[in-house]
Amino acid sequence: MTTVTEAAGDARTRTPQPRGGLSRSVRDSLVVAKRNLIRMLRIPEVVLFGLIQPIMFVVLFSYVFGGSINVPGSGLSPSGYREFLMAGIFAQTVTFATAGAGAGIADDMHKGLIDRFRSLPMARGAVLTGRTLADLVQTALTLVVLALVAVIVGWRAHENLAKVLAGFVLLLLLGYAFSWIGALIGLTVRTPEAATSGGLIWLFPLTFISNAFVPVNGMPTVLQHIAEWNPFSATVQAARELFGNTNGKAVKSITGAWPMEHPVIASILWAVLIIVVFRTLAVRKYRSATT
């Protein structure tokens, strides 16, 4: 009887064994993501200001440039340009969130929050994964509002709901992939201000040397090749096809680039490649920065 009692006592006092590596990493990442989402809710102006810029782009591009840019297959039609434009605006919105992700991580580093996380028994990559997941949720909410604004100004999707949702999923996948680039920048620079600047400098040429706002056929030959192999362009073209915003009279690719001929597959491959490369680099930088 004594032996049985002692065994029961040992079972009650035994320290729980930690979960496996993957399950622990997922759990820790979700905890960090929840922390960042709560922080966003407590600072609503961050979300509000994040909505203003893309809404301004929608309105300005739709009414200022609509009817002035010749879209292949649609001519100078304002409605034709609006349908051509919206996938590009959506893609620009999810990629510009990269600067916010980098600034947030740089701010956590600057305030010493990363050191506090380091003192806890948690997976090393969970801090960055949780942050990028929280940014993904915020980006998804921004896309919902932006899509409503686009409908108000006259944009329409012409495919079924499944394809339209798939288009938005590809856009969010691109945004998530680019958030890892922002994470690496945030860990590399010393201040949040530098992270914001560093996160935007490379995004402007990436988004404007693309098929997002103007047709590629009007660009110089060298820029045509760059634009059609741009991962940003692949996602824009994929979203247009899934939204039904393409014109059958226009060719898919001016240069014969494979990503433009197979944009859905290309956008997925580009996103996975970016996530694998930059997540690896960001986690490695995180470990070296906190050791």
Q: What is the pLDDT of residue 246?
A: 85
Tokens matching residue 209: 């040397």
- For the segment 55-69, what is each residue's pLDDT rounded down to a tens digit? 888 888 878 777 677
- For the segment 144-173, what is each residue's pLDDT rounded down to a tens digit? 989 998 998 888 898 999 999 999 999 999
- For the segment 108-124, what is each residue's pLDDT rounded down to a tens digit? 777 776 667 766 777 77
Between residues 280 and 190, the one the model is more confident about: 280
pTM: 0.84
Name 240's Cβ contacts closer than 8 Å, sequence gap at least 6.
83, 84, 87, 246
Phi-psi region of 67 (alpha: psi -120 to 50; beta: other; left: phi over 0): left
Distance CA 216, CA 210 (A): 7
- For the segment 57-105, what is each residue's pLDDT rounded down to a tens digit? 888 887 877 767 777 766 667 778 888 889 999 999 999 888 777 887 8
Reported as a pLDDT band with limits 50, 70 and 90, residue 277 is very high
